[in-house]
């Protein structure tokens, strides 16, 4: 397997396909690099080098007890990019991965980055606060934590078969294959790592990170996202990132990389080429 070893000794697994300008993908919770496979296959076939890592604690990477928070995630991403000496990178983050990308920019800048993409991403802040009234109440995330401790396997099945892909909406046509893939990736994540990541994606405030974005940025979100509601996420991020391009998919759920992959692939390619 292809891995790098971080400064604290953790091994980070990554996939590296194709040739050309590098596109680096950061995945959502509790998933891994496999969740990007449709976009990676498509973009590699169109002449790009595509790279996706399993975040620490997820997939085939190490499962350290510590470091399951956004600063370390971002530093791991920086080590990957620097170790591989990637330049002119298109850096794309989905959901929690959007937070990782934002914190990467906040901590490491855009010296190696040509363009940025936030897809169904958690920034600027998921948690409801006085300053962020459109966020989700803390008890939502407390409920996820409780369910993870009680039966995390069932939690992942419930999320995948319901709100993540919009399969709980009238007229939806659930794919058992997609549900199974989500569950499988979730169960590959370390229990402690995935548990800690709930706090990381829900309580980290990325407002100041977004203000440091200084390269072309695509923000793409579904307006029926039940996991990361668009109001406190994409619509807010678009006001913080200078000259960001906001694209809203009407009626689309959180899991765009699967449910709207043809449209998403086309839009990503157009953005990268623009």
Q: Alpha-carbon distance 39 to 250, whole Å?
A: 20
Catalytic one among 225, 237, 258, 260?
225
Q: Is 53 a catalytic residue?
A: no
Q: Is residue 58 annotated as a catalytic residue, yes or no?
A: no
- The active-site residue out of 53, 108, 254, 260 is 254
Interatomic CA distance for residues 232 and 131, integer angstroms: 11
* 3-state SS record for the chain: CCEEECCCCCEEEEEEECCCCEEEEECCCCCCHHHHHHHHHHHHHCCCEEEEECCCCCCCCCCCCCCCCHHHHHHHHHHHHHHCCCCCEEEEEECHHHHHHHHHHHHHCCCCEEEEEEECCCCCCCECCCCCCCCECHHHHHHHHHHHHHHHHHHHHHHHHCCCCCCCCCCCCCCHHHHHHHHHHHHHCCHHHHHHHHHHHHHCCCHHHHCCCCCCEEEEEECCCCCCCCCCCHHHHHHHCCCCEEEEECCCCCCHHHHCHHHHHHHHHHHHHC
Cβ atoms of 241 and 150 closer than 8 Å: no
Q: Is the peptide bond before 204 cis (omega within 30 degrees of 0)?
A: no
Nearest-Å Rg of the Cα atoms of the chain is 17
Catalytic residue among 26, 35, 62, 95: 95
* Known active-site residue 120: no
Residue positions annotated with a catalytic role:
95, 225, 254
């Amino acid at each position: 397997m292809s891995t790098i070893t971080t400064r604290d000794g953790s091994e980070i697994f990554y996939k590296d396909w194709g040739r050309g300008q590098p596109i680096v993908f950061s995945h959502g919770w509790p998933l891994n690099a496999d969740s990007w496979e449709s976009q990676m296959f498509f973009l590699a076939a169109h002449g790009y080098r595509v790279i996706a890592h399993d975040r620490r604690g997820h997939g085939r990477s190490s499962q350290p007890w510590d470091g399951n928070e956004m600063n370390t995630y971002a530093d791991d991403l920086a080590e990957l990019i620097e170790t591989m000496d990637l330049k002119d990178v298109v850096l794309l983050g989905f959901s929690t991965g959007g937070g990782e990308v934002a914190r990467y920019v906040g901590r490491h800048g855009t010296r190696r980055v040509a363009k940025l993409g936030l897809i169904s991403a958690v920034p600027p802040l998921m948690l409801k606060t006085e300053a962020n009234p459109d966020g989700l109440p803390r008890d939502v995330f407390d409920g996820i934590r409780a369910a993870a401790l009680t039966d995390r396997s069932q939690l992942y099945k419930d999320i995948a078969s319901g709100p993540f892909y919009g399969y709980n909406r009238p007229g939806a046509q659930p794919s058992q294959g997609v549900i199974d893939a989500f569950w499988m990736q979730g169960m590959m994540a370390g229990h402690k790592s995935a548990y800690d990541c709930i706090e990381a994606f829900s309580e980290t405030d990325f407002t100041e990170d977004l203000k440091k974005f200084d390269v072309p940025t695509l923000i793409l979100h579904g307006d029926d996202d039940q996991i990361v509601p668009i109001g406190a996420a994409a619509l807010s991020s678009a006001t913080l990132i200078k000259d960001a391009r906001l694209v809203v998919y009407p009626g689309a759920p959180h899991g765009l990389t699967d449910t709207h992959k043809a449209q998403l692939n086309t839009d990503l390619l157009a953005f990268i080429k623009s």
